[in-house]
Amino acid sequence: MDEPVLLTGAGGRVGQAVLEGLADEYEWKLLLHSPPDDEPDHEYLIGDVTDEETVAEAMDGVGAVIHLAGDPRPSAPWPSVLTNNIDGTEKMYEAAVDAGVEKFVFASSNHAVGAYETDERTPEMYRSDDDYRLDGTEFPRPGNHYGVSKAAGEVLGRYYHDEHGISVCNVRIGNLTRGHPPIDYERGQAMWLSYPDCARIHRCALEADYEFEIVYGISDNDRKYYSLERAKEALGYDPQDNSAEWDGDDHVADYERGV
C-alpha cells in the first residue's frame, strides 16, 4: 500500500492495537473524535464520521480505509448506533467511493451473529471439544441493536462493492483484550483476539486482493465457534495466539506481575 491509510476510531482499543503493530509499516492518517492528550506520531484530523466535510477531507489522497469509529457497546441504544454506526458508515463509504479509495476494511462484530448462541448450543459451543462453527457465509443474526448496526455496516459494504467496485473486507472482531484473554469468561476466551493478532489481521486486510469478504477476527484459540478458514484463505491471516495458552491462573498472575 503506497498511499496513506485512513484509520477512524484511531484513539480506541482496536485502533491502538492496529497502531501498536503496524505504525511503521504504513503512512497513516488518523481520524480522532476529540483532541488527543499527546501529539500523535502520525498525520491526524479531528471530527465525526457523520460529518460529510470531515469525512471528505479525511478521505482525500488515501488508498485504503480501516473504519473502526462507532459506538462499540453491545448495550448501545438505537439512536446511538443509528447515528454513529449506520449513518457514520454510510457517510464513510460514500466519501470513499467519491475519492476513489480502493479498499475498505470494516470493523464488524461477533454481535452481528450473536443470536446463533442459542440456549441449546451454549455453553457447549464455547468449548474446545465442540465442533459447531460459523464461517461467515451464514445470514447475520444479531442479538441486540448494536449487532443490527454491524450487520447493516456489512450490507452497506455489499452495496458499495457491487455498485461502485470498492474492495470490502468485513472483519467480525471477537473480543479484543490486551495481554491475556478474558478470565472466567468461556465465550470471551473462544472469541479472544490478542492485540498482535488484531494487527496481523488488519495488515492482511490491507495487503490481500479480494472483492467482498466477511471473515472472523479471532486468535487461533482451541476453543472456537468461528472458523478461521476464510480469513486464512482470502487474506492469508496466520494468527499466533491462543487463549488456551493462558489456561490456569498462574499464567495470568505471572503476566499481571510482569514476570
Q: Output the known binding site.
A: 84, 109, 146, 150
Beta carbons within 10 angstroms of residue 182's beta carbon: 16
Distance CA 107, CA 8 (A): 10
Burial class (CB in 10 A: 0-12, 13-18, 19+), 216: buried
Question: Is 146 in the active site?
Answer: yes
In the set 44, 116, 126, 146, the catalytic residue is: 146
Q: Does 188 bind ligand NAI (CB under 6 A)?
A: no
Question: How would you list the strands of the sheet with 103-109, edge to edge?
Answer: 43-46, 28-32, 5-8, 64-67, 103-109, 167-173, 212-217
- Structural contact between residues 5 and 199, judged by C-beta atoms closer than 8 angstroms: no
C-beta of 110 vs 131, nearer to ligand NAI? 110
74 binds, among ligand LXAUTJHC, ligand NAI, none (CB under 5 to 8 A by kind): ligand LXAUTJHC
Distance CA 253, CA 255 (A): 5
Q: Which of residues 93-122 bind ligand NAI (CB under 6 A)?
A: 107, 109
Q: Does 173 bind ligand NAI (CB under 6 A)?
A: yes
Distance of CA 32 to the CA centre of its chain: 17
Q: How many residues bind ligand NAI (CB under 6 A)?
A: 22
Distance CA 132, CA 39 (A): 46
Site residues, ligand LXAUTJHC (CB under 6 A): 72, 74, 109-111, 175, 187-188
Q: Does 72 bind ligand NAI (CB under 6 A)?
A: yes
Residue nearest to ligand NAI according to CB distances in the complex? 12
Q: Does 70 bind ligand NAI (CB under 6 A)?
A: yes
Write out the binding residues for NAD(+). 84, 109, 146, 150
13 binds, among ligand NAI, ligand LXAUTJHC, none (CB under 5 to 8 A by kind): ligand NAI
